[in-house]
Amino acid sequence: TPSVIDQMNLHQLAPITGTKVYMNLGEPDLIGKYKDLPFDGIGLMRTEFIFTHLVGAHPMYLLRNGEEKQFIDKMAEGITKVAQDVYPKPVVVRLSDFRSNEFRGLKGGEEVEPIEANPMIGWRGVSRYISPEYEEGFRLECRAIKKVREDYGLINVWTMLPFVRTTWEVKRVKEIMAEEGLIQDQQFKIWIMAEVPSVIFEAEEFAKMVDGFSIGSNDLTQLVLGSDRDSGILNTMGYFDERNPAVKKAIKMLIQGAHKHNKSVSICGQGPSLYPEFTEFLIQEGIDSVSVNPDTVAGTRRLVASVEQRMIMNKIREL
Ligand code: PEP
Ligand code: MG
């Protein structure tokens, strides 16, 4: 049995918070290393590693060669590993968000991917899912999710749609998901990422269609500030900064719009993993959860607890 001191440390490590603290996960196998950290769920499970390392080939190429079962099985296997280890905590699986230049690098990719001048704002995220050139690939992704939820009973697996720009594409994606048996209900949640400014401006319209939002602060910062996140020179000059007032204003608008419709807002970009004062801002604005890198989970939980405590004390003083 742990000593009183150990118990105190454990308690300090994982205080109960109103705002949930989720963890970002890049590779399924890493869950073994991090599963005992004090997180409330996986707020961003990336699937790109599954494509590049576990499947290793472009889904459309596999389809063309009749090898799509391999894709579904591998993707389901990666997600199952994580969902089993953290059950019953939720695992928010972000469906593929490769850019065409990245997809070209996969086996068979050069045959099926176009060359785009600006892939960062090109054919990526959900715009792929509804296009004749990738819809079948997206259906395989849906089947992998369905397999995990139904064959293995891991109903803690939710989905998140990346790089959403318009309401009509979300409508179409949801139709395809429903055709594949992924129907939004109490048990199955569909979140969208808020990373394109149109989602901020139209937050209330999007809120009517989905269960929640997760802010992709990397892309949102890039697009609000018109500053390429990969530009070394702009970065050293301080242009790319999540704490810019324009980005913060966008986040505030999103939270207000989503909450009007009782929909949740999370964040899974790097912002809160990098800057405690940014996390503090998010909590003060009433964000429902923050998803951070494994090395900042414990510290973020302590920070969230102390900010919440201060907010409660201030409220009491106002009475
Ligand atoms: C983001 O844009 O903040 C995000 C989490 O997605 P990615 O970094 O993969 O674009
Ligand atoms: Mg992004």
pLDDT tens string for the chain (319 positions)? 545 545 444 545 688 999 999 999 999 999 999 999 999 999 999 999 999 999 999 999 999 999 999 999 999 999 999 999 999 999 999 999 999 999 899 999 999 899 999 999 999 999 999 999 999 999 999 999 999 999 999 999 999 999 999 999 999 999 999 999 999 888 899 999 999 999 999 999 999 999 999 999 999 999 999 999 999 999 999 999 999 999 999 999 999 999 999 999 999 999 999 999 999 999 999 999 999 999 999 999 999 999 999 999 999 999 8
**Nearest C-alpha neighbor of 114 from the set 138, 122, 132, 139:** 122
| Residues by chain with Cβ below 5 Å of ion ligand 2 | 195, 216, 219
The atom number, within ligand 1, closest to the CA of 214 reads 5
Return the residue whose CA atom lies nearest to atom 5 of ligand 1. 269
CA of 11 to the centre of ligand 1 (A): 32
Cα-to-centroid distance, 217 and ligand 1 (Å) = 7
Determine the residue type at 220: L
Q: Whose CA is nearest to atom 6 of ligand 1?
A: 216
Within 10 angstroms of residue 3's Cβ, the number of other Cβ atoms is 8
Complex-level ipTM beyond the 0.90 threshold: yes
Tokens 């176009």 locate to: 114
User: Tell me, what DSSP letter sits at residue 274?
Assistant: H
The residue whose CA has the least distance to atom 9 of ligand 1 is 97
Q: Which ligand is nearest to the CA of 164?
A: 2
For residue 108, the 8-state DSSP code is T
The protein residue with its alpha carbon nearest to ligand 1, atom 8, reads: 218
Burial code of 272-290, b = ≥16 C-beta within 10 A, e = fewer?
Answer: bbbeeebbbbbbebebbbb
- Point out the ligand 1 atom lying closest to the alpha carbon of residue 222: 2
Q: Which helix (H) or strand (E) holds 217?
A: helix 217-225
